[in-house]
Chains A and B, each alone.
Chain A
Amino acid sequence: MKKNLASPIFLFVLLILWQAAAMGMNAAYILPSPIQILKKLWELRDPLFRVHLPATMSVTALGLLISIGLGLFLAIIMDMNESVRRMLYPIVIASQTIPTTAIAPLFVLWFGYSIWSRVLVTILMTFFPVAITVFDGFQSTKREMEELMISFRASRKDIFLKLKLPGALPYFFSALKMAIPLSIIGAAIGEWLGAQSGLGYFSKRMMTQLDGAGVFAPIVLLSVVAMAIVAVISLIERIAIPWRKEL
């Protein structure tokens, strides 16, 4: 019970401190208070929930799906072939050294204001944790279990499908929980840098109007959505792999 309450209590204390600091500063364009942000969220509920949230979620969903596909594909081929791993691994790592905010305007030049420029930013940020974490999952297969399978005359395909794949499921869920917030951040950054709708775009527009609460309102909405999706994934994980701690 105490453990469950620690996080909400801490969050509540932070919000109180934030509220006090914002009231003391009295400059909403620099630091709006939590209450002002909530009020703004309510005032802007129609455009935020009907236009901009669906736009951001479309980019997030598309980017996340492609990232999961690409990440799994890379993890599988790197696990299956040592030469491929040696060839791809440094490139995958190098892809994460690219400053996304610097390169994203280029994507707008390539794809215009279409959804694909934002999806590409999302993929660039999201495929990496999926590829690396799932690959680590495959590699962490217990050698003794693999030897047991070999002693049963299992083929490489059998070892992959019946041992490595189920054994990497906990890693896949961890990757998913990392990838979801990153895909939302990726979509928002893409929208900040070039879009005509979406919560990132909306936040930027509010910035030009020096509306502090308006900048924060879509960000709060994004955080709440990310937390909700991660909570759902955690629930699915608990149901799907109750044996996680056994590995």
Chain B
Amino acid sequence: MLAFEHVTYQYDSKDSPIIEDLSFSVETGDFVSLIGVSGCGKSTIFKLINGILPLGSGTIRLENTSGIPAGYMPQKDLLFPWRTIEKNISLPLELRKTPAAEQKEQAARVLEEIGMTEYAQKYPKDLSGGMRQRVSFARTLLTGAPLLLLDEPFSALDALTRMSMQEWLLSEWSRYEKTVLFITHDVEEAIFMSKKILLVEDKPIRSLKSIDVPLPYPRKREYMARPEIIALRDELVNMLRKQVKI
């Protein structure tokens, strides 16, 4: 689905690369979390995948599709305040010059699936934080991309909304059968949601430590109390804490 092969990237304003000779891959249909300390370059990986940043050297292979290969969901919802919810989520379709009737139909279908049909003609200001993130996710879905890049999508939400959103996202993932690459700072969130965790071990990023999460789907909250999961969480936290510089 996604393969990084010897990728190196350096920002013009920096003296050294942020990513150096990095190789890793993500299998089709997986839910993979990418965790690492702040500023280590996780978001740079996303920006390279979706073409926001030009690739320095190396190769990024993505599954062949006729449309956008990767749908991007940023940390902030970035809904356009002048567009209705329906118009916000159909933006990727509009950019692909999809006929208006089809845009409306697809937007209505996705809004129904995320339980927000009655908000179609509302504006982002009328929605709560959790609802806005659901709309942002719906917009990412309508890119039609088989790979979804979710960049800390729940970091701005309160703890309870965040838990509900995690469960909601897992159900959407199993419904749409997409491949998800998910950035988070939250180790518990990464364990609860992912099939596999990729841990950034160094800076510049030269490799990612791959850890399989020993839990079945559908996930349940009580799984998090299992001794092996607590041990995994502590191990990951310790690895990350070693990298934190105050």
Contacts and interface: CB of A to CB of B under 8 A. Distances in A.
Given A148-B72, A153-B95, A241-B82, A246 B125 contact: yes
Given A144-B76, A158-B95, A153 B68 contact: yes
Interface in A104-156: 142, 144-145, 147-154
B125 A150 contact: no
Name the residue in A163, A169, A242, A243 with the highest tally of chain B Cβ atoms < 10 Å from its Cβ.
A243
A154 B95 contact: yes
Given A144-B74, A243-B82, A152 B47 contact: no
Contacts of A39: none
Name the residue in A144, A150, A152 with the highest tally of chain B Cβ atoms < 10 Å from its Cβ.
A152
Contact of B80 (A154, A163, A242): A163
A145 to B, nearest CB: 5
Contacts of B39: none
A246 B78 contact: no
Interface string B54-88: 00000000000000101110101010111000000
A162 B81 CA distance: 12
Nearest to A166: B82
Q: How large, as a class, is the contact surface on chain B?
A: 20 to 34
B51 interface: yes
B4 interface: no
A242 B47 CA distance: 33
B80 A145 contact: yes
Contacts of A246: 81, 124-125
Name the residue in B68, B74, B95 with the highest tally of chain A Cβ atoms < 10 Å from its Cβ.
B95
B142 to A, nearest CB: 10
Interface in B20-61: 47, 50-52
B214 to A, nearest CB: 33
A247 interface: yes
A243 B81 CA distance: 6
A21 to B, nearest CB: 49
B95 A150 contact: no
Given A243-B123, A243-B125, A246-B125, A151 B78 contact: no
B8 interface: no
A23 B106 CA distance: 74
Interface in B83-116: 91-92, 94-96
Interface string B116-135: 00000001110000000000
B68 A152 contact: yes
Nearest to A247: B81
Nearest to B82: A166
Name the residue in A148, A163, A167 with the highest tally of chain B Cβ atoms < 10 Å from its Cβ.
A148
A142 B51 contact: no
Contacts of B71: 151
A151 B52 contact: yes
Contacts of B52: 147, 150-151
Contacts of A163: 80
B124 A147 contact: no
Contact of B78 (A144, A154, A158): A144
B74 A166 contact: no
A145 B47 CA distance: 13
A145 B71 CA distance: 14
B143 interface: yes
Contacts of B82: 166-167, 169, 241, 243
Given A152-B143, A153-B68, A166-B80, A147 B47 contact: yes
A151 B95 contact: no
A158 B47 CA distance: 20
Contacts of A152: 68, 72, 91-92, 95, 143
A103 to B, nearest CB: 41
A169 to B, nearest CB: 8
Interface string B220-240: 000000000000000000000
Interface string A150-179: 111110001000110011010000000000
A158 B93 CA distance: 13
21 contacts: A144-B78, A147-B47, A151-B50, A151-B51, A151-B70, A151-B71, A151-B72, A152-B68, A152-B92, A153-B68, A153-B95, A153-B96, A154-B95, A162-B80, A162-B95, A166-B82, A241-B82, A242-B123, A243-B81, A243-B82, A243-B123
In the A-B complex, the 8 residue pairs with the smallest Cβ-Cβ separation, listed nearest first, are A246-B81, A243-B81, A151-B72, A151-B50, A166-B82, A147-B52, A152-B92, A154-B95
